[in-house]
Structure 1
């Protein structure tokens, strides 16, 4: 009992710093999402909107396995602090994009995309290390409670992000959507530097840089294929076919390397465990459907429904509030009962229903109705957000805790990368097609390019017929994105039904020092 109390006290000392680091990553995404219409209005490039998100998610995706493995080998504290610093540097650069100091607005969107990738490299270390550090300090049976708190904080950050982003963009410059990360990051950095005490490793095993490089090239090529295919280049063009071939070749080489190195970035033997494989697939689909589709909600609310940036943020609150309440409930329930299988199934069903409801939106859909739809989506997210990580961590030995956390986060991130890029391509194609059908090809091209700097004031000055056609085209295109998201969301509960409920380690009769056993591979 004394050991458990001491462990709980140790966790509570560092928990504020971990919570701030989590807020740092989650808050940024939601703030930027709300600020995007204003960013596009100043820097231009509506057709490049998805790349601002894709670059960030891609940076997070390719770096997550590396952060997790380095933490396992050399200790997590310093690695975690370095990732916070990189994130803060990326935030400063993003805030400076398009400024006179860096070349002016003509290159602003390209600069922002590049700096978002740097920011994403830091964010990859934030998410995986928070979960892995909790795994270091708390056994799985008690972990549900703390991960429930962290999931609640994630929801709170997502809850506050749109509102903060709206207030910033309505009352200040959109650049403060990035600069606001600096005080939060500084406090987290100081707290963790002073309070976080983790064992240091002196491991002489070399990092699998070949594997990391091949994985990075393969993922980047795949994202470019989904982003450019059928949009910037025809699917049968040499550019797309070359990228697809590069993705396949580097992926095969990566798998060969991982089978031979001593400390692989992603240990392939983890996938012999049924639960781990299922959770990785669920994470991929969750990221694909959720991050890919939600990216378009602020655009719908601010352009089609005419909400201000602040009101757009407030309209996202039902989703975040529902997710936060459910996450806290699920965390406590798992700690009390040790049962978890039902939650990802329920969450998958809720997410699919939410996506279907959002796909029915149109120009006449009132804001309150959108709020109900996204609240349903939030309920589904709340059941899924922390149970996936808990199941993954309970499937591996303690020595692989970081890499299990990073691999799970990696699959969610890569799903988000593909989702954002693919849905962005679907949106662009659908939007241009809708405009062409209404106004003809020549006018559609002009409207699409003019829409690259679209904001509420610009819409108000358009001729009524043009404005109506533009809003209807936007609405139909965004609804189409949610229709595609349904196809991926419905697979989540089907996969979750096959999860085998393994007793969580570290119950009342097991000490924290007792190693976690690997669950047997299912036949």
Structure 2
């Protein structure tokens, strides 16, 4: 068996040598087209959500869950896709993920109520988990780490542009009368189909044939441990108190499932998340940093769109245009860092610099309110974008440099898993903080108006679903809602800035290993026995 696997790995090394720059670009076109549509679908709804929720008569909690549902599905399925990528044909898996994404997008566009839309977003999330893991794994299996920075820069640029341009595209679609918000989902389908055709023609990687042994129990436990905290923060403070026996059950259940998952993964023959890989110093620290990056990446796209529309009164298209500084920052940071890393082989300095810029940007956004001038918000978005661009793909690169091609899928998926987890938890927690703070500020403002305000406050407490539909609110109440949302948004970015400090501490302790020039680990690259 060992001889067979050795011969297969030699086939992988031979394939590595045969891939020219043009062949790699042909593969990347298909991969990045699929990844662009997947990432676009997670952010294109951010500027459209106020319109979608108002049209489908949804609530603030449902507003958050339209985003969180897809992130949660992405999170819990990423390690499963990653493990399958180490056991089966990566080409078959990525085609399956794209097909699921097309189906989920079509269903989301046909949604007639918010629960149906959330269900369709879950299906999109299942596919996004596959694309996030498989694109990283395919790149890792085809390109040596020393050359990977260049191509990872392209990937980072696509992710950054999709993440930040999504709100702009969504805004334009919503503001175009003959399209409507449903095309925010339909528009993703054609590009996904094109990527299927391109990958069918150009993607040809050797498969390391091994008996597929899925860790189903581990998958269930990991999914439960990732899901419970998100469900908890969605209901805590609304259906029950943060400090209550219900909260205790959620937290206790999360801890129990996490402990059981660790036990199962340590004993499984084919663990979903290999603890040997995760315990490696570089991987562990990269995972810590990825949590903070996820909070910034997804939280910014969701809540900045809401800030510009609900708090500052801009149209969806204008809100998208106002986020251009963040898009430019992400593009420059990702492509620039990738090119420089491939040229000089040094990567840690970009992680440290990116973490500092991320903290600075989030810190500036943590000071915004309903009177903040745009130039200040723009500088904050630019710094945050630069930080995200320099961190996102290079954290994966640092991890891939420490593992063999046979574990590239699981290692890449582990980082993507925790980045998505950070994003899902971040959006859910920050959304809960935002909703609670908005309610408090709004009630204070209404009560200050006297008896009429008290009556309006009671109605706001009882209903609350129409607060995002500002067009149908009395002008005075609409102004109070805008002010409450603006002042509350600063608080959630201040919280995100504190979380981002974790990324800086983590990358400071990462050991910078030289980037190797082979896809597979050579004997000289093997870590010393412990």
TM-score (norm 1): 0.92
Give the gaps of 5 or more residues in structure 2. 1-13, 448-453
- 1:423 is aligned, of 424, 430, 438, to 430
Tell me the distance in 2 between the aligned counterparts of 1:225 and 1:301. 28
SS of the counterpart of 1:369?
A: helix
**Quick check: 1:36 aligned with 2:49?**
yes
Post-superposition offset of 1:402: 0.3
Instruction: Name 2:475's counterpart in structure 1.
Output: 463
> Residues 519, 300 of structure 1: CA spacing in aligned structure 2 closer, same or farther, 3 A cutoff?
farther
Post-superposition offset of 1:6: 3.9
> Residues 328, 395 of structure 1: CA spacing in aligned structure 2 closer, same or farther, 3 A cutoff?
same
**Quick check: 1:90 aligned with 2:98?**
no
> Residues 514, 214 of structure 1: CA spacing in aligned structure 2 closer, same or farther, 3 A cutoff?
closer
SS of the counterpart of 1:431?
A: helix
CA displacement 1:478-499 (0-9 Å, x = unmatched): 1111111111012211221111
Tell me the distance in 2 between the aligned counterparts of 1:25 and 1:516. 38
Instruction: Name 2:193's counterpart in structure 1.
Output: 186
Post-superposition offset of 1:197: 0.6
Instruction: Name 1:128's counterpart in structure 2.
Output: 133
Instruction: Name 1:273's counterpart in structure 2.
Output: 280
Post-superposition offset of 1:442: 5.3
> What does 1:431-442 align with in structure 2 at a 5 Å threshold?
431-440=438-447
Instruction: Name 1:503's counterpart in structure 2.
Output: 514
> Residues 203, 433 of structure 1: CA spacing in aligned structure 2 closer, same or farther, 3 A cutoff?
same
Tell me the distance in 2 between the aligned counterparts of 1:21 and 1:47. 30
Tell me the distance in 2 between the aligned counterparts of 1:234 and 1:293. 27
**Quick check: 1:227 aligned with 2:234?**
yes
> What does 1:483-494 align with in structure 2 at a 5 Å threshold?
483-494=494-505
How many equivalent residue pairs?
Answer: 507
**Quick check: 1:7 aligned with 2:34?**
no
Instruction: Name 1:52's counterpart in structure 2.
Output: 66
Post-superposition offset of 1:344: 1.1
- 1:413 is aligned, of 412, 420, 424, to 420
Post-superposition offset of 1:97: 1.2
Tell me the distance in 1 between the aligned counterparts of 2:221 and 2:201. 37
> What does 1:158-197 align with in structure 2 at a 5 Å threshold?
158-171=163-176, 172-197=179-204
Post-superposition offset of 1:515: 4.2
> Residues 305, 256 of structure 1: CA spacing in aligned structure 2 closer, same or farther, 3 A cutoff?
same
CA RMSD of aligned residues (A): 2.2
Mapped contact 1:60–1:122 kept (Cα < 8 A): yes
Mapped contact 2:167–2:301 kept (Cα < 8 A): no
**Quick check: 1:115 aligned with 2:120?**
yes
**Quick check: 1:65 aligned with 2:79?**
yes
Instruction: Name 1:443's counterpart in structure 2.
Output: 456
Instruction: Name 2:334's counterpart in structure 1.
Output: 327
Tell me the distance in 1 between the aligned counterparts of 2:157 and 2:371. 33
Give the gaps of 5 or more residues in structure 1. 99-107
CA displacement 1:180-228 (0-9 Å, x = unmatched): 1110111011111222111234322410011001111121112212222
Instruction: Name 1:103's counterpart in structure 2.
Output: none
Mapped contact 2:405–2:519 kept (Cα < 8 A): no
SS of the counterpart of 2:267?
A: coil
Tell me the distance in 2 between the aligned counterparts of 1:231 and 1:400. 43
Mapped contact 2:361–2:379 kept (Cα < 8 A): no
Instruction: Name 1:208's counterpart in structure 2.
Output: 215
Post-superposition offset of 1:445: 4.7
Instruction: Name 2:259's counterpart in structure 1.
Output: 252
Moved more, 307-316 or 357-366: 357-366
Post-superposition offset of 1:3: 7.6
> Residues 285, 72 of structure 1: CA spacing in aligned structure 2 closer, same or farther, 3 A cutoff?
same
Post-superposition offset of 1:457: 2.9
- 1:155 is aligned, of 133, 152, 160, to 160
Tell me the distance in 1 between the aligned counterparts of 2:119 and 2:247. 22
Moved more, 358-367 or 15-24: 358-367
> Residues 516, 432 of structure 1: CA spacing in aligned structure 2 closer, same or farther, 3 A cutoff?
farther
> Residues 484, 501 of structure 1: CA spacing in aligned structure 2 closer, same or farther, 3 A cutoff?
same
Moved more, 235-244 or 335-344: 235-244
- 1:16 is aligned, of 9, 26, 29, to 29
Tell me the distance in 1 between the aligned counterparts of 2:256 and 2:18. 52
Tell me the distance in 2 between the aligned counterparts of 1:2 and 1:127. 23
